[in-house]
Structure 1
Amino acid sequence: AHDYIDEVKSLLTAAGSYYSCYLFTDDLFPGPSKQRELVTRAWNAACAACETPPLYVLSERMIRIIGSRKSYTFDVATGHKEKYSEHALIGRSLEIAFFSNTRTGVGFLHPEFFDPIPDQALAFVHTFIHAHICEWFTGRRIREDFSEVKNATFYAGFLADLQSYGSKNPSAWLNIRKRMYSSAFTASGRATLRAQITRVSTFAMEAATAELEGRTGLTDSETEGEARAGGL
């Protein structure tokens, strides 16, 4: 894209940022038709954000540039936390994935997509962590690219689990996800698994669901009893 004039380069950069948001909050692995739709939405959003509407037409080459994917890489430290999807590892991963830099992090650039943290973004984080675990499954790291072919099934499974879990108490789940956003935003500077497993275990989901039904989701400290959710 180096041969484009500066104004178009800026539009492509902005559109790429919107496109990343759509991947994280709508569909991490869109098919060709959906991908084109998301790229077009991203370009239109970038143009709409300009003070003066740009007169440039989205070309096939520009679509390819916006839709090109970068590798997702980040390292996280482990911790302990009860309740499904509220493990400290999840919170830290959200910070690194979306709020790592106050000037360039998509969570800072486009907070409207991440407040509350969408189920799709959580599914992405779960999938990425699962991919890292699989790299070490043999006891020795086997480095692999984070690709749709290897991870789409896991992503779909985690997303289904999250949506099912949240449906048991939508109000509490909304509050929990809003707190996830607030925690990741402020913490970042502003103010053994089997390879074929694609879902959270039935035991872990049942325990976490039972725990969720008695919560409001407004605080970190509620329901700190003996029960363990058993998952992330």
Structure 2
Amino acid sequence: MNNIQQNKLNKILSDKTSGSSEIVNKINNLFITNVNELAFIKKSITILKANLDHFAAVNSYLKKLSKILKLNNQQLIDDFLNSFTTEELNNFDIIFNKLYKKNYWINSIITISNSRTIFEILKLWKNENNKLKVVITESRPANEGKILAKELLNFGMNIELISDAMSALYVPKVDAAFIGADEILKNGNVINKVGSKSLALLCKENKKSFYVLTTKSKFSEHTKYSVKKVDPSRLWNYKSKGLTVSNIYFEEIENKLITKIITD
């Protein structure tokens, strides 16, 4: 593995703002540019499995690619990598059509964090409804909501960015909530960016639909989820006697709070 390859791989490993679908897309693009470097691809798979095993979509992708690599057929490897993006876009179309068919009347939604699935679905929605308004929470501490807002603004979307704490003021005003997912547990519960459960509870209280939009790659065999604390300095880089800073990125949303999980 040369320095350029190592740097590009490290950039993916240190990505704390992209959703899992976008991370998989970045991995696939890295492998496409190194399609003839099978030793690099195999070593990268080992490293990615060790560091990103908490992402169901990443695990699903790496598992499929590993099976193809074992066949030692360069053409099959090329075909898999080159067709991946097209298949992903087709999956987003399927999700959109299922959602839009019964919810065409929706003119405003609220969402959280930065999800490629949500991004692609909202682009398709705008093609059908140019008046769609999207409310996005900033999604602290990494502010992924700002990233999604910028991307959607490039497509002329009507965006309102709010603080996470303002969600209770905005849920009553919108027609529904859309979120992506990092993992779907076997019991139907969803793992997503912290703040998603608060949004689900607010939707329940205000009788608003709460939709989870995700590809089948997010479904896992896991039956439970353990909350993991991450680097507290990302929230507040300050130390003092008696102070504990807790930073949690992901949480579990119970299936009973979800209107429907819509997938390809």
Shared topology, TM-score over 0.5? no
TM-score w.r.t. length of structure 2: 0.23
More helix by share: 1
RCO higher in structure (CA 8 A, sep ≥6): 1
TM-score w.r.t. length of structure 1: 0.25
More strand by share: 2
